[in-house]
Amino acid sequence: MTSSIEDTYNTDDWFDLDKYREAAGVAYDFSKKKAETAGEQERETIGKGAQEQRTSAEQSQRFSEADEARDYNQAQRAYRY
C-alpha cells in the first residue's frame, strides 16, 4: 500500500468549502442575533432612563411650585404684620 501526501486530503473535511460556508453562516447568524439583542437592551435602557428623568423633572417641578407657594404665603403673612 503506497500512500502519498495527496491521499490524506481526500478524507479531510478541513478543505470542504460547503462546511466552511456553513460554519461562517452560523457564526454570522450568532453575531447578528447578539448585536440585535444588545441593541434591544440598549433601547430599553435608554427608554427607562428617559422615563426616570421625566419623572424626576416632574417631581422637581412640583416641589419647586410648592416651595414658591409656601414662600409667597410666608411673605404675605409677614407683610401684614
CB 13 within 8 A of CB 19: yes
Q: Where are the domains of the chain?
A: 21-80
Q: Which residues contact 9 (CB under 8 A, 6 or more apart)?
A: 15
Does 12 have pLDDT greater than 70? no
Which is more confident, 72 or 10? Answer: 72
- Predicted local distance difference test score (pLDDT) of residue 17: 76
- CA–CA gap between residue 7 and residue 38 (Å, rounded): 47
Q: Label residue 10 by pLDDT band (50, 70, 90).
A: low
- CA–CA gap between residue 7 and residue 78 (Å, rounded): 105
The pLDDT tens digits of the residues spanning 15-73 come to 677 888 888 999 999 999 999 999 999 999 998 999 999 999 999 999 999 999 999 99
